[in-house]
């Protein structure tokens, strides 16, 4: 990656080639299953249009979004793709989905019947994706409701989807229980393909892959195997320019609440990034950043628009107004920042702010 040492504003670099490489790696790892891509929430905050186009170029044919509006936006970008909408039919009528050629992931027998009726009415081939709740207790049909379906409705189910609650904890007993519950309903739908695994589920083993896997976070560099080395390539890099460097003459403290005591001789650099930009307030006094090859601690509270790093150990000529400081990168990535803030990489990614300049690497 390019390393221009001076910046005029915070800059979020998004490596589209790394996203494509992550998708290809998961597709190889899970073959012969099909590898879809989850691009909900603006592709986890990284930008739906550039990310979806990069994934389509890499060979991805099936996409999942959460909201119907996200599906319509994606349809305009990718006329040929299969697009599944995880929210199902609750928020928009079936006609909205048919119009945009979106496939709602249906979460109740009632929605399945409404969908099939609309398909019949409009002369559309009846094919339905159905979500079964095997233990997450979120959206989806109860297995007992599926058993009660009449055979005509069952025959129209082309994709049977379920979602794991504890895939990031391989030893959790719920994984095997959910797998067993899903397998128990599969024979009801002889024509249906089956999909269970998202990012972490892929790493639970081939028994979890079925016909279609649906990774999201892993494509964007979040570690799908917490506690073990990250098999994915890092995707985001966040850098911000130094606004000001304090050369401290007296003992004092840094920031709101005076949480970080200072000694004379310390140097503190101020950066134009704060919690309004999605840098978590909880990471104050816990996260680190990087200047050239020096690791510098984030000290004091993170404010709305600013944060402070202790640069006392960095040679002064390397820290000037405009000097680029790396806040997220290969060394200290979204998972590390999440750990520091007591959250998960997903939340860090999806909150990265709109005030950053965005640069997409390896775009055509």
Ligand X SMILES: *Cc1c(COP(=O)(O)O)cnc(C)c1O
Known catalytic residues? 40, 256
Pick the stretch among 142-150, 209-217, 242-250, 252-260 that binds ligand X (CB under 6 A).
209-217
Task: Give the integer Cα–Cα distance in Å for 241 and 289.
Answer: 12
Nearer CB in complex with ligand X: 50/215: 215
107 scored as a contact of ligand X (CB under 6 A): no
163 scored as a contact of ligand X (CB under 6 A): yes
Options 82, 92, 154, 214; binder of ligand X; rule CB under 6 A: 214
Nearer CB in complex with ligand X: 10/140: 140
Nearer CB in complex with ligand X: 88/300: 88
Sheet holding 307-310, edge to edge: 244-247, 267-271, 307-310, 294-299, 288-291, 324-328, 236-241, 11-15, 357-361
140 scored as a contact of ligand X (CB under 6 A): no
Pick the stretch among 107-115, 213-221, 243-251, 263-271 that binds ligand X (CB under 6 A).
213-221
| Binding residues with ligand X: total (CB under 6 A) | 11
Task: Give the integer Cα–Cα distance in Å for 91 and 34.
Answer: 28
Candidates 155, 140, 77; CA nearest to 104 is 140
198 scored as a contact of ligand X (CB under 6 A): yes
Specify the residue for token string 């082309």. 158
CB atoms within 10 A of CB 143: 17
To which H or E segment does residue 251 belong? none
22 scored as a contact of ligand X (CB under 6 A): no
Minimum CB–partner distance for residue 163 and ligand X (Å): 4
Sign of the CA dihedral with 284 first, then 237, 41, and 23 last: negative
Minimum CB–partner distance for residue 228 and ligand X (Å): 16
Task: Report the Cα–Cα distance between both ends of the chain, in Å, rounded.
Answer: 16
Minimum CB–partner distance for residue 212 and ligand X (Å): 11
Enumerate binding residues for ligand X (CB under 6 A): 38, 40, 86, 163, 198-199, 214-218
């Amino acid at each position: 990656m390019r390393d221009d040492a001076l910046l005029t504003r915070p800059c979020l670099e998004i490596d589209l080639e790394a996203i494509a490489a992550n998708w290809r790696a998961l597709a190889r790892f899970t073959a012969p299953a099909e590898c879809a891509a989850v691009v909900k929430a603006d592709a986890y905050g990284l930008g739906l249009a550039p990310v979806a186009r990069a994934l389509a170029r890499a060979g991805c044919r099936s996409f999942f979004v959460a909201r119907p509006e996200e599906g319509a936006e994606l349809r305009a970008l990718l006329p040929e793709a299969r697009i599944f909408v995880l929210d199902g039919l609750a928020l928009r009528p079936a006609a909205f989905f048919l119009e945009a050629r979106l496939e709602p992931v249906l979460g109740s027998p009632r929605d399945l019947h409404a969908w099939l009726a609309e398909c019949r009415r409009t002369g559309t081939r009846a094919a339905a994706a159905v979500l079964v709740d095997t233990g997450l207790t979120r959206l989806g049909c109860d297995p007992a409701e599926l058993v009660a379906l009449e055979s005509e409705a069952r025959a129209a189910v082309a994709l049977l989807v379920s979602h794991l609650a504890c895939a990031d904890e391989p030893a959790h007993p719920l994984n095997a229980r959910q797998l067993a519950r899903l397998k128990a309903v599969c024979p009801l739908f002889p024509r249906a393909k089956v999909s269970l695994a998202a990012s972490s589920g892929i790493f639970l083993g081939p028994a979890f892959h079925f016909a279609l896997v649906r990774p999201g976070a892993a494509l964007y560099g979040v570690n799908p195997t917490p506690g073990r080395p990250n098999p994915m390539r890092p995707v985001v890099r966040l850098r911000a320019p130094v606004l000001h460097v304090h050369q401290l003459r007296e003992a004092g403290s840094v920031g709101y609440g005076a949480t970080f005591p200072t000694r004379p001789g310390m140097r503190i650099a101020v950066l134009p990034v704060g919690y309004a930009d999605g840098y978590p307030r909880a990471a104050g006094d816990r996260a680190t950043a990087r200047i050239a090859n020096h690791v510098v601690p984030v000290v004091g509270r993170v404010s709305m628009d600013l944060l402070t790093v202790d640069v006392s150990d960095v040679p002064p000529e390397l820290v000037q107004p405009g000097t680029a400081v790396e806040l997220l990168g290969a060394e200290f990535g979204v998972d590390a920042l999440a750990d520091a803030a007591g959250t998960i990489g997903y939340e860090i990614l999806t909150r990265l702010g709109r005030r950053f300049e965005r640069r997409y690497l390896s775009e055509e």
